[in-house]
Amino acid sequence: MAVLRVRGFALPEGEPVDLYADGDRWTSDPVPGAELVAEGWILPGLVDAHTHPGANAPGDPLDLDILKGDLRAHLDSGVTLIRSPGLADDPPDWFGQSDDSPRAFHAGPWIAQHGQFMPGWGRRPDPADMPAVAAEQAARTGWAKVVIDWKPGDEVMPVDVLREAVRRVHAVGGRLAVHSQHAAGGAVAVEAGVDSIEHGMGLDPALLPLMAERGIALTPTLSAITEHLAQILADPERARTNWHVPGASVHRRLAAAAVEAGVTVLAGTDSRPHGGVAREIRALVAAGISPHEALAAASWTARSYLGLQGLVDGAPADAVVFAADPRADLSQLDQPQAVIVRGKRAHRRPDPH
């Protein structure tokens, strides 16, 4: 197999690099005969930290053909790493391992309370059993995902139950993500010391410094929430009564405040079609976050949070290369020059347009 080579300016520092894919690891030691596949501005791969591939609609079973297509769409967009905090079922062994897939972390099926979450999806253990279920999942895949609040008026998961889940998950070396879209749920999540809050709509901004101190990440799924808000506001009657409006209306400010407070913010799309991480990056920038920080949330910061190094010797051989600096021109995100994952070039499908 030919050794691949990339050359250019590596983000985040923008320093010149010349890297060779020695199997699945980068090296700066020259390899004779290496194939120069791209020159330009190099990122250590894009990351979608909140995506649920494999099912067309909420409640649908996991479909392997849909899963393959979704993963390929991520890869075509320059995403070389995904985190799936919840799937319709346990994925096959090739998930995140095949040549047509980004690397992948996942939390298996969601864990929810009785009477909450999407019918047909997830597990609903009794509260006393939930910490053990979460720990068993994290021991298998590194992550567990718990839905701690759902609709207005639904019971928020008790903090003692969630705190015990965190303790048990950490004891097996795993991490715990939680779905929260109400202020009460966000408060419980921070108090319990979870590892990441997904969505976080309605989160009290006063909790952001404590999140930063405790290393609790926020994945605001900003593009999905703001696009849904726009649909609601298009119908004045619906806008007057829909519970999403107050939290969604200030969600941009929350995301920007989180970055300002030093919270690790992760880019996640939570939407179909897959491969739309560029929309999330643009949504973060529209919220007032600098292009550098928005790209960090979708690349080097997210990779570091998930335990992968960037463009250094010995790091996983992943990269996406752009002709120009995407921080200065976000349109570059729509046209990667090359995508490399596991030391191999991902051949992009032709643009249907």
Q: How far is CA 235 from CA 223, 224, 239, 242, in A?
A: 19, 18, 6, 10
The region of weakest confidence among 274-278, 303-307, 349-353 is 349-353
Residue 41, both tokens: 């501005």
From CA 263, how far away is CA 210, in angstroms rounded? 9
Residue 70 lies in a domain: no
Express each pLDDT in 25-80 by its tens digit: 999 999 999 999 999 999 999 999 999 999 999 999 999 999 999 999 999 999 99
Verify that 298 and 319 share a domain, yes or no: no
Phi/psi of residue 340, each to 5°?
Answer: -125, 130
**Dihedral angle computed from the Cα positions of residues 22, 28, 33 and 38, in that order, rounded to the nearest 10 degrees:** 90
Q: Within 10 A of 32 (CB to CB), how many other CB atoms are there?
A: 6
Verify that 38 and 131 share a domain, yes or no: no
How confident is residue 237, by pLDDT bands cut at 50, 70 and 90? confident
Express each pLDDT in 116-150 by its tens digit: 999 999 999 999 999 999 999 999 999 999 999 99
**Model pLDDT, residue 171:** 98
* pLDDT at 155 > cutoff 70: yes
Residue 68 lies in a domain: no
Verify that 121 and 158 share a domain, yes or no: yes
Residue 332 lies in a domain: yes
Verify that 11 and 118 share a domain, yes or no: no
Residue 117 lies in a domain: yes
Measured in whole angstroms, the distance separating CA 214 from the mean position of its chain's CA atoms is 19
Residue 329 lies in a domain: yes
Mean pLDDT of the chain: 96
* pLDDT at 178 > cutoff 50: yes
The fraction of the chain above a pLDDT of 70, given in percent, is: 98
Express each pLDDT in 5-31 by its tens digit: 999 999 999 999 999 998 999 999 999
Verify that 161 and 276 share a domain, yes or no: yes
From CA 132, how far away is CA 128, in angstroms rounded? 8
Verify that 258 and 339 share a domain, yes or no: no
* pLDDT at 353 > cutoff 50: no
Verify that 250 and 266 share a domain, yes or no: yes
pTM above 0.85, yes or no: yes
Whole domain around residue 318: which residue ranges? 4-43+312-345
The CA R_g of the chain, rounded to the nearest whole Å, is: 20
Verify that 207 and 273 share a domain, yes or no: yes
**Model pLDDT, residue 352:** 46
From CA 141, how far away is CA 248, in angstroms rounded? 32
Q: What is the mean pLDDT of residues 221-246?
A: 93
* pLDDT at 89 > cutoff 60: yes
Number of structural domains found in the chain:
2
Express each pLDDT in 92-108 by its tens digit: 999 999 988 999 999 99
Verify that 229 and 320 share a domain, yes or no: no
Verify that 191 and 216 share a domain, yes or no: yes
Q: Which residues of 45-64 are buried (b: 16+ CB within 10 A; e: fewer)?
A: bbbbbbbbbbbeeeeeebbe
Verify that 252 and 162 share a domain, yes or no: yes
